[in-house]
Structure 1
């Protein structure tokens, strides 16, 4: 939906035409003033008119100078907001999977959107320069057709020069931004693993990896500068030749009496204005930069969110989760499946498997945090893809190993959770110790991993969902706290369907069934005690947990 023009946009849209009009009128007004002073034409108001035109031109120029950056800032803010809302609306259901990495997304949100935000001022500036030049040529033609012909002798090479520059600069700008995004993505990955990098004393190797694309970035920058420098000196030479041709023709016409002295001044002014089009290298750079940025933003805006339906779940059903013929891929590589699995309503199923076996991927499917590439996921017989977004959110609740806290304060982040939920998640004690309690700003929080997990569990308990999914949601708790929290969760979620990613045998032993995953396939669905004799199953659980379970 097009953005409504703001005050700064309107100011720029008015100031630029006024500036162009007064600039075009100035040579004619100056000619009248020269003729009036030399006595060739009566007009005592000619000097006042000249002063008025100069004043209007200065005011329009000042307004355009202020409105241009303000318009760019407003457009950038609006575009970033639109892009961010669009990316969040896409969700994690696979629309971004295999697309730009987080570092590239950040580069597009901050860099490319900023470049694209200057598109309107750059385009208006270039269009105004074009109209001014066309108007100046018309002015020359009014003075004498010979002056227009002298000017047109340099137009064709000038147009070819501009066209060549745009063709060269556009791809270079796009490549420059792509390499910038690559570096940003590498840096994001390095910052995420900073502790491991320092522990391995790999700072220099990692710095070399992050900065490896710099030569390519430098090459793109130098290519752009070379094209800009080449176009600039060619344009300067062309402008000089055009102005010499026009002034020579005007001088000959003046000598023959075909032009008045003031007309010579007008011809000089309009020749400079007409040739000014070929000096707009900087404006053309801005246009090319903005176009490249807009193209990278449009790639993301073209991604469509996963479609939602309008269906609702049948009332009074227990929350049975079924996966039928599910396959999840990353390109040509199968990550999960083919897989068929039914989690009986109201039962607890532990997902057990080695790292990379597909546990978190499977857990993401019921809540559409990832959509399968093949197959169907159902809750109580209804495909989750046909449910409305609100219905699905009310049906499936998650708690993660590193839950994200959203909002301004702790109260906002807990999204409806109260003291009872905080107590059940064993979060009430450290919440009371916070400087402002539940009203402590999130920016002031310094929480351990276990404390963060307990807040995520409290938030989960505030929602009476049919299906509860715990994705490593207690991995940061010590054994005693985990036991207390698990008991509270069992009580608070009694009767609900639960999927629990289990690394400890104690968690698997408490489940009704264990879904044992191996290399993305379901190897078995059975009670923990039935699977325990298998060495591969025991290897998928920690030795410490097995010792605790068999002690």
Structure 2
């Protein structure tokens, strides 16, 4: 599959929090507007409810002269408005969740696209578990930030303003006191709100480390169990989990400072309001209903400030997550994007004095490849031989441009691979490794990589082409049959990988010893499929068994990153002094022996 393009320069991910909000909530403006309407309507009704309670209390105070019908009317109206508030809040919760998940899913797509655009050096430094936590966990922490932050803050501010105005309408002195109280509370909370940002970032970092630890151990579960290393890894898990727990507790403690401060301040505020209400009622300045009204409006002052407090804590989490996401977005690929397209038809491959180091910034780092030069004509197959660590896999990674050479050039179809668009190169160059990755999906999706544009007939034709026609006929739903992971033999998995390549119809194919773990019968079937696959295409076959390259046009032998032999297979086999002839006499390729020395 071609690489996903990097995030465009105008991506909202390049800006700050406001740019992120605009970028991801902008396309959802009508849903956001609906969410705002629901919240504002609920706010207006909430301000009306205490007025009804005050009238009810004052009507009851009339004693025997109270109008029962009026009381029933007020009670019914109150219940209707209270139910309306709950329905509006429920609708706002649903719509807010919908907005939040839609926005965060778009963010996940953009973040994943950016990560796929990075070169392999960046991916080697991070475990898959850590990347899952970064792309999913950190983005999930932003869900409330996207869905309800701006609207709820606005709604809370409106409710707070409305409640304070009601105090002024009751008594200007009480209104002034509440205003001072609100300002002092907001200033105090604003002073302490940043305390949780850095601890929350460390907590998310600890979560990423935990996910990475678990993922690595699950990937190597068979080795861990067979070697009896379970106890060691369990102790390691407890150590990583303990660190995550300590960071989580410390982060919660720092974030909860805002909440504790709010509790203390409102305890003081309620005492002040109750004292004022009792004093005014005793002086005959207000009715009992109005005194009750003051208490209700004080709770309405508390509610939006609590809401703001919660939003500030969510903002702390969002700030930490945005910071970690920004760290990923600051990464830049070491593979600059080219602007040329590879020509149609077969492509020749040429290495021109190529040297490669995995750390190109350090000239003293050992070179994996040193001065490698060779030419593979279009449509021919190259058998690549060499001991473990000789640079075979690294050489093929330069062809598919997972890395760029430190020195020299890799030319494909006459073009420097660095000048070719990555999507064009990855479409024309296919790689089949020994470890075939299969998904818990249908046969079709495993072959097409979830591309709906390819018809079922093309998938079926590819399976017949590689010799899996009988296997396909036994599937109950054909190519739509689910393919659980682990349900195939190693040979069938390799044949499926060949079928994937058939569907893409690339110009260059790289095979990393496809028959190294197969029995003779399966190997014969795979060899027939490989012959059909490589016909008319330029190919590199990394061989650990000489039978694999018995039909190769050319042989290239690497040793310690240098080319020690390169030439037509038939001529090298006939030359008794060649490395290849020596290997044929030995009957095997000694991976760790001294045959190639």
| In 1: Cα distance, 2:94 partner to 2:371 partner | 56
Query: Given the alignment of the two structures, is residue 441 of structure 1 paired with residue 482 of structure 2, yes or no?
Result: yes
User: Which of 391, 413, 421 is matched with 1:380 structurally?
Assistant: 413
**Alignment map for 1:147-546 (pairs within 5 Å):** 147-155=174-182, 157-227=184-254, 230-256=257-283, 258-259=285-286, 261-280=288-307, 281-297=309-325, 299-300=327-328, 308-315=337-344, 318-322=347-351, 325=354, 327-330=356-359, 336-337=368-369, 339-346=371-378, 347-372=380-405, 376-388=409-421, 391-405=424-438, 408-415=441-448, 421-422=462-463, 425-443=466-484, 446-483=487-524, 485-486=526-527, 488-490=529-531, 492-508=533-549, 510-519=551-560, 521-527=561-567, 529=572, 532=579, 542-543=589-590
Report the alpha carbon displacement of residue 205 of structure 1 after superposing the two structures with TM: 0.7
Show CA shifts across 1:110-147 (max 9, x none): 43332222224552434433432233223223333321
The 2-side partners of 1:271 and 1:411 are apart by 63
* Residue aligned with 1:147, SS: helix
Aligned residue for 2:100? 75
TM-score, length of structure 1 as denominator length: 0.82
Deviations 1:46-72 (A, max 9, x none): 985775465334323333235425633
Question: Aligned-pair distance for 1:260?
Answer: 5.0
Q: Tell me how far 1:321 sits from its aligned partner.
A: 3.8
| Separation of aligned partners in 2, 1:374 and 1:90 | 26
Is 1:24 aligned to residue 47 of structure 2?
A: yes
Number of the residue aligned with 2:86 = 61
CA–CA distance in 1 between the matches of 2:72 and 2:332? 62
Q: Pick closer, same or farther for the CA change 1:74–1:450 going to 2, 3 Å.
A: farther
SS at 2:123's partner residue? coil
- Contact (CA 8 Å) 2:118, 2:332: kept in 1 or not? no
Shifted more, 139-148 versus 119-128: the winner is: 119-128
Match in the other structure for 1:549 = none
> Aligned in 2, Cα 1:65/1:142: closer, same or farther, shift over 3 Å?
same
**Structure 1 segments unaligned to the other structure (5+ residues):** 547-551
Larger deviation, residues 267-276 vs 3-12: 3-12
In the alignment, the residues of structure 1 paired with residue 461 and residue 446 of structure 2 have an alpha-carbon distance, to the nearest angstrom, of 16
TM-score (norm 2): 0.77
Deviation for aligned residue 1:447: 0.2
Task: Give, in whole Å, the separation in 2 of the partners of 1:428 and 1:507.
Answer: 24
Q: How many residues align?
A: 545
Shift of 1:265: 3.1
Q: 1:186 to 1:458 in 2, by over 3 A?
A: same
Q: Which sections of structure 2, spanning at least 5 residues, go unmatched?
A: 1-22, 449-456
Provide the rounded CA distance (Å) in 1 between the counterparts of 2:285 and 2:585. Answer: 104
Cα–Cα, structure 1 residues 329 and 72, in superposed 2: closer, same or farther, change >3 Å?
farther
Q: Is the 8 A contact 1:343 1:349 kept in 2?
A: no
Instruction: Describe the shift of the 1:93–1:157 C-alpha distance in structure 2 as closer, same or farther (beyond 3 A).
Output: closer
Contact 1:336/1:362 (<8 A) preserved: no
